[in-house]
């Protein structure tokens, strides 16, 4: 058990009583399974308008109170904290209502679907003094953590550029994800994760973005972003619902290249700057190796095949029990949202959008981008 797990166990006396809002696909396959097994945690209430889904969710939390709407759940005094897994369009309203009723919040990404909603939520969060963590769980994936350490130690020299791909397989897209009006589209869904990851890895903000967006199977389901981070780091990212499951990241520096693929890398790959050193790295990293088997088995066994969900939720629970802030927080969510909305603006106008200009009057920046 890692340090956070031990801390959750140590604090078992202070049970964290959680209400889950929205019991659809991800809540049932990931959040409820994890929360119902965490020491020191009790899922005391569930909110879900679809009675079949509510019944299915209660299998994981049989003693919980069932509510047909989040507003009902928020009136329950026994709920200390909520985990919001509803459709994107309800995120800001549900999180704000929860904070106003004194409940700590773990909010799935994106935090909102408009900048005004996002700003309002940040203000409510700041006033509340409560924990408001955002479900950018990939920050807790060991590969991202290792990549961040390599970058901080300048393993690949001065950064010159980066690129990323985040795409999902050809599975069905839920109705609300198929139109922007209901909070759908690949920018809010997948790009919000990678923008946060870039901020986390590089420790700087996106300052401008140029984007093109396409609608293939559903509205705005494919996008290409050219971003500038800080004053001089160019980053290119491709996102799609249905171009095959891929979550890949590459950074190029004066002394080498760093890359990983969340779905299949067992470690962050570093290769030197010359063709020869790259060939050796390729032979080392691509050759079949028995030491990959435990990693791959662990990944297959992990909830949602992704270990970071569990670590992120444990981090939230530990923060609630210790009453200490947890990152990534709602302000991080706002920074990611501002970039996603600027990308939409860029795609509709066909020009580069400066985040500083576009986000006039936005919330002031916190100095440190990451924990
Ligand atoms: N962090 C991640 O990697 C990750 C992965 C998948 C999904 N998500 C996020 O999780 C959220 C849910 O995604 P999903 O795929 O499970 O969607 P989903 O449509 O399967 O589930 C959403 C559920 O919310 C319910 N709901 C609607 N209105 C409600 C209300 N007023 N009160 C309570 N419940 C209400 C719906 O009936 C539905 O069952 C989304 O915001 C998505 O972005 C995050």
> Does residue 345 surpass a pLDDT of 90?
yes
CA distances (Å), origin 42, targets 78, 216, 256, 281, 348 = 11, 42, 47, 47, 46
Q: What are phi and psi of 227, to 5 degrees?
A: -120, 155
Q: Is the CB of 72 under 6 A from ligand 1?
A: no
Token digits of residue 256? 């080498």
Q: How much is the pTM? A: 0.91
Q: Is the CB of 49 under 6 A from ligand 1?
A: yes
Helix or strand (DSSP H, E) at 227 = strand 222-229
Rounded Cα–Cα distance for residues 44 and 255 (Å) = 52
**What one-character-per-residue DSSP string does 159-179 give?**
EEEEEEEEEE-SPPPPGGGG-
Q: Residue 367 domain-assigned?
A: no
Q: Which of the listed residues 108, 135, 162 is the one where a domain comes to its end?
A: 135
Rounded Cα–Cα distance for residues 231 and 143 (Å) = 26
* Percent of the chain surpassing pLDDT 70: 84
Q: What is the pLDDT of residues 104-142, one digit of tens each?
A: 999 999 999 999 999 999 999 999 999 999 999 999 999
Q: Residue 310 domain-assigned?
A: no
Q: Residue 146 domain-assigned?
A: yes
Q: Residue 233 domain-assigned?
A: yes
Closest ligand 1 atom to Cα of 188: 43
Q: Residue 271 domain-assigned?
A: yes
Rounded Cα–Cα distance for residues 83 and 133 (Å) = 9
Closest ligand 1 atom to Cα of 50: 37
294: CATH: 3.30.360.10
97 CA to middle of ligand 1, Å?
A: 17
Token digits of residue 181? 């009006």
Q: Which domain holds residue 282?
A: 138-304+327-356
65 and 147 housed in the same domain: no
Q: Residue 350 domain-assigned?
A: yes
Q: Residue 202 domain-assigned?
A: yes
Tokens 């935090």 belong to which residue? 111
For 62, other C-beta atoms within 10 Å of its C-beta total: 8
Q: State the total domains in the chain.
A: 2
DSSP 137: G
* Nearest residue to 235 via CA among 226, 243, 248: 226
> Does residue 48 surpass a pLDDT of 70?
yes
Q: Is the CB of 48 under 6 A from ligand 1?
A: yes
Tokens 């509803």 belong to which residue? 86
More confident residue, 277 or 219: 219
Which pLDDT score is estimated for 172? Answer: 87
């Amino acid at each position: 058990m890692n340090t956070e797990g031990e801390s959750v166990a140590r604090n078992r006396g202070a049970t964290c009583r959680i209400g889950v809002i929205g019991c659809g696909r991800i809540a049932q396959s990931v959040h409820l399974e994890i929360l119902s097994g965490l020491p020191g945690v009790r899922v005391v209430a569930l909110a879900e308008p679809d009675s079949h889904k509510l019944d299915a969710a209660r299998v994981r939390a049989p003693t919980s109170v069932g509510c047909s709407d989040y507003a009902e759940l928020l009136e329950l005094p026994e709920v200390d904290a909520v985990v919001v897994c509803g459709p994107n369009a309800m995120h800001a309203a549900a999180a704000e209502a929860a904070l106003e009723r004194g409940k700590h919040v773990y909010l799935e990404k994106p935090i909102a679907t408009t900048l005004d909603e996002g700003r309002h939520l940040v203000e409510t969060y700041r006033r509340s003094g409560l924990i408001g963590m955002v479900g950018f769980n990939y920050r807790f994936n060991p590969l991202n953590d290792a990549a961040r350490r390599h970058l901080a130690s300048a393993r690949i020299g001065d950064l010159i550029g980066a690129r990323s791909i985040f795409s999902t397989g050809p599975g069905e897209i839920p109705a609300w994800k198929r139109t922007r009006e209901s909070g759908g589209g690949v920018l809010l869904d997948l790009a919000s994760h990678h923008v946060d990851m870039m901020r986390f890895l590089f420790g700087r903000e996106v300052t401008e973005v140029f984007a093109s967006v396409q609608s293939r199977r559903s509205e705005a389901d494919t996008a290409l972003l050219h971003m500038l981070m800080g004053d001089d780091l160019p980053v290119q990212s491709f996102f799609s619902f249905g171009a095959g499951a891929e979550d890949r990241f590459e950074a190029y520096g004066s002394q080498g290249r760093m890359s990983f693929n969340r779905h299949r890398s067992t470690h962050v790959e570093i290769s030197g700057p010359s063709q020869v050193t790259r060939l050796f790295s390729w032979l080392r990293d691509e050759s079949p190796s028995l030491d990959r088997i435990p990693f791959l088995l662990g990944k297959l066994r992990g909830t949602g095949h992704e270990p970071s969900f569990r670590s992120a939720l444990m981090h939230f629970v530990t923060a609630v029990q210790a009453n200490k802030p947890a990152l990534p927080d709602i302000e991080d969510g706002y920074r990611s949202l501002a970039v996603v909305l600027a990308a939409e603006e860029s795609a509709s106008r066909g020009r580069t959008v400066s985040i500083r200009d576009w986000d006039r009057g936005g919330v002031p920046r916190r100095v440190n981008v990451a924990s």
